[in-house]
């Protein structure tokens, strides 16, 4: 389970990468800064340096040719039958805590589209489902195109690994924020926001893509959706009216608050 700690206005989570011997070889630190509304993922390893009596931490990944998969210690167990691969270490960690026996959630880290940096060998000869979902500000369509890139790489470089794709849309209930993007001032604000507007999986829209043709067709549709979103369109009169009404509600609620 990730370790959570609040310091100097930052929110921190730590995700351990273990080897086949259940030993931590690398840790991925997630930092979220409310002031700038940004997060970053930093790989950290421990090194023994000459003339130093103790290990030192460095913000670098493992000094190997390939980076390990997350939950590798569980992935290599013979009882692991089904593997669910995601593009988010956070999602893999969270879902693994509630996973059924025989099901393993895993993920990876690498530079954008540099999949050659990852050691994919442990996925050979296993049933692999790639989970496509919207998260961290990434749309479902963008996540699908990212999955297609990985598929193209594996077909060429790791033909023994076959991916089955699943799309899982999530509703983050942004309407609860009067049309604004979520902003958090503290860790308590994050937790309160999650309790008031928890994300909801759109179970009726979960889709298992049974063939490569269907999946590639879905990706082509995703490309068209992204292109249409990149076209700047002026707001309609109805949209302007709705936004003004939301602003009026927000300011009336704010003005009615007792002064401190």
> Is the pLDDT higher at 38 or at 132?
132
Q: In sequence order, what E strands does 34-89 have? A: 38-47, 56-58, 82-85
What are the tokens at 214? 């269907």
Per-residue confidence (pLDDT) for residue 243, from 0 to 100: 60
Per-residue confidence (pLDDT) for residue 37, from 0 to 100: 67
Give every CB contact of residue 182 below 8 A, 6+ residues apart in sequence.
172, 174, 193
Q: What is the pTM of this model?
A: 0.76
pLDDT at 232 over 70: no
Sort 15 into a burial class: Cβ within 10 Å, 0-12 / 13-18 / 19+. Answer: buried
Per-residue confidence (pLDDT) for residue 179, from 0 to 100: 42
pLDDT at 93 over 60: yes
Rounded Cα distance, 252 and 248, in Å: 6
């Amino acid at each position: 389970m990730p370790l959570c700690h609040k310091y100097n206005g930052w929110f921190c989570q730590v995700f351990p990468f273990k080897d086949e011997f259940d030993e931590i070889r690398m840790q991925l630190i997630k930092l979220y800064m409310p002031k700038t509304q940004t997060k970053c993922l930093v790989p950290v390893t421990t090194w023994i340096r000459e003339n130093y009596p103790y290990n030192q931490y460095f913000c670098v990944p493992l000094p190997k040719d390939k980076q390990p998969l997350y939950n590798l210690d569980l992935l290599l167990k013979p009882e692991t039958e089904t593997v669910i691969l995601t593009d988010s270490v956070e999602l893999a960690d969270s879902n693994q805590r509630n996973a059924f026996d025989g099901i393993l959630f895993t993920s990876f880290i690498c530079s954008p589209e540099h999949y050659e940096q990852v050691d994919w060998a442990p996925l050979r000869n296993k049933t692999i489902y790639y989970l496509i979902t919207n998260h961290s500000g990434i749309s479902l369509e963008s996540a699908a195109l990212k999955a297609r890139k990985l598929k193209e790489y594996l077909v060429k470089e790791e033909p023994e690994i076959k991916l089955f794709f699943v799309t899982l849309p999530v509703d983050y209930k942004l309407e609860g924020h009067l049309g604004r993007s979520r902003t958090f001032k503290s860790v308590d604000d994050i937790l309160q926001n999650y309790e008031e507007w928890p994300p909801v999986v759109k179970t009726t829209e979960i889709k298992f893509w049974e063939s490569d043709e269907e999946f590639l067709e879905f990706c082509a549709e995703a490309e068209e959706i992204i292109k249409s979103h990149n076209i700047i369109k002026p707001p309609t009169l109805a949209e302007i009216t709705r936004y003004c009404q939301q602003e009026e509600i927000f300011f009336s609620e704010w003005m009615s608050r007792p002064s401190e």
